[in-house]
Amino acid sequence: MTATRSGTIPSEAGRDRPDPGLSAIMTERRGLINLAYRLLGSLADAEDVVQETYTRWYAMPPRQREEIASPGAWLTKVSGRICLDMLGSARARRESYVGEWVPEPLPDRTEWISGRSGGASSDPADRVTLDESIAMAFLVVLESMSPAERVAFVLHDVFRYPFAEVAEVVGRTPAACRQLASSARRRVHASRGLATPKARQADIVRGFKEAWEAKDVQALVGLLDPDATAVGDGGGLVSAALHPVEGSTRIAYGLVEIFDKASSTLTFLERTVNGQPGLVAQQDGVTITVIAFEVVGDRIKRVWSVRNPDKLRPWRAC
């Protein structure tokens, strides 16, 4: 029994009637993908996790499924454990990845921000909002965490699961999960800079686009933090810098060089990337690069350019 990528579930062998619980089970799909994406930083992997979760659900005998009091909680628990296993193996896979690995960028769709319905945990710790939790800067910080830290933090601080439930996913005590989330929370807080309103971010990104198109090195330098970092992700499939480029001047000259080499058919579009103002580069109408920014104060602190075509699949459907 398998769940298709579209989320539909075939009927069990020898049964033509639809599963009476199908509608209720499938309503969980969006939340599961949201959770898995934040845990893995890849929409393709998140979809695979949800597919495997539904496969396991329908592999159980009907009577066993009927005995599960909360199917949604069961699906979340299984998805979380699959993600935990995948995070452990992902580190080895990324060691062989060509160049820098950047989380898969998401286009502007409101469903990526949806999360768990229901009550929040009573823990008074400072939380991360759901829209902040898909920002590229946030996902990059998550990459620095251990798999257990990442799962405990995302489940508790983002999706509001109590530590008793988090412990069932992580396989540790609630107290240990509390410590994991606390450690992860410190990393997140340490990485935060001065918050910049989105309208101001959009103005800065627009200025960056215009300066790039004008090949104005000095304007680009003025918009970039002196210690800014630019990271490219081509995955070995297309050209991209194999290592981060540091410093506003080096980044600015590199950007102008890229534009000089590009065809006259290259165009830049202002788009929302992972909930934040970003840019999309298109050539002959085809998206070839998605660019995310971290703006701190009035300067661009980090630039992430995703060029790996495997990671741009959602953008071709926009």
- Max CA pair span of the chain: 70
Exposed, middle or buried by CB within 10 Å (0-12, 13-18, 19+), for 202?
Answer: middle
The phi and psi torsions of 293 (rounded to 5 degrees) equal: -130, 150
3-state secondary structure of 246: strand
Residue 8: its pLDDT value, please? 36
Question: Tell me, what amino acid is at 23?
Answer: S
Per-residue pLDDT tens, the chain, 318 aa: give them: 333 333 333 333 334 444 546 676 778 999 999 999 999 999 999 999 999 999 999 999 999 999 999 999 999 999 999 999 999 988 778 888 999 999 999 998 767 776 554 444 444 344 577 888 999 999 999 999 999 999 999 999 999 999 999 999 999 999 999 999 999 999 999 988 778 999 999 999 999 999 999 999 999 999 999 999 999 999 999 989 999 999 999 999 999 998 888 767 789 999 999 999 999 999 888 999 999 999 999 999 999 999 999 999 989 876
Residue 116: its pLDDT value, please? 54
Taking residue 210's Cβ as centre, other Cβ atoms within 10 Å add up to 14
In the block, tokens 């329908």 appear at: 58
Residue 17: its pLDDT value, please? 42
198-316: which CATH topology?
A: Nuclear Transport Factor 2; Chain: A, (3.10.450)
Q: What is the residue extent of each domain of the chain?
A: 22-191, 198-316
3-state secondary structure of 301: strand
Residue 6: its pLDDT value, please? 35
